[in-house]
Amino acid sequence: MLYMSEIERIADQLERGFEGDAWHGDPLMKILDSVTAQQAAARPVKGAHSIWEIVHHILAWKAAIPVRLRGEVKELLGQGDWPPVTDTTDPAWRNCLSELREKHAELVKAVKKFPENKLEEMAPNRDHSYYVMLQGMVQHDLYHAGQIAILKKAVQ
């Protein structure tokens, strides 16, 4: 195996969980691949978020982390953390998935540019390092992918 830097490993794990060869099973985009707008908007579990709401939440974090990697403070509170779904049409769902791919690509690009020697520095306005934050993003995607997989089974 060729040597990979820690930044390359983190980027690799983000890619595997998103649409690559994930060890745990299907990556996020494969899970979302056959989900319709109607299924994404459905609420099969009382009190739980819809698939669409979870995707909006994932999007919010994929947009926030590159800002934090630039050393800026980016808080996600209320609707910033869980943006509402206001349009549940098929075109809106396709646009949502397209934006998810775009924001993921931007995140991976920002990770690959991040100086490896800064990984142990504290993230802005946080009590954890950039390393912990980036590993948390890998975990975040996988956690929500699992939720989406269960919700998808409930709406099929």
**Is 44 within a domain?**
yes
**Is 14 within a domain?**
yes
Phi, psi of 47, deg, nearest 5: 80, 0
What pLDDT, on the 0 to 100 scale, is given for residue 19?
Answer: 94
What range defines the domain where residue 133 resides?
6-155
**Is 1 within a domain?**
no
**Is 101 within a domain?**
yes
Q: For residue 99, give the CATH number of its domain.
A: 1.20.120.450
Which residue has tokens 């509170």? 77
**Is 50 within a domain?**
yes
16 pLDDT above the threshold of 80: yes
Which among 123, 23, 107 is positioned nearest to 72, based on CA atoms?
Answer: 123
Q: How far is CA 100 from CA 3, 93, 106, in A?
A: 30, 10, 10
- Please tell me the pTM assigned to this model: 0.95
User: What mean pLDDT is predicted for residues 1-24?
Assistant: 90
2 pLDDT above the threshold of 80: no
**Is 56 within a domain?**
yes
Helices (H), the chain: 6-19, 28-32, 37-41, 51-69, 90-113, 130-155
User: What mean pLDDT is predicted for residues 58-77?
Assistant: 96
What pLDDT, on the 0 to 100 scale, is given for residue 1?
Answer: 53
Which among 36, 22, 42 is positioned nearest to 145, based on CA atoms?
Answer: 22
Q: What is the total count of domains within the chain?
A: 1
Could you report the per-residue pLDDT of 120-144, keeping only the tens digit for each? Answer: 999 989 999 999 999 999 999 999 9
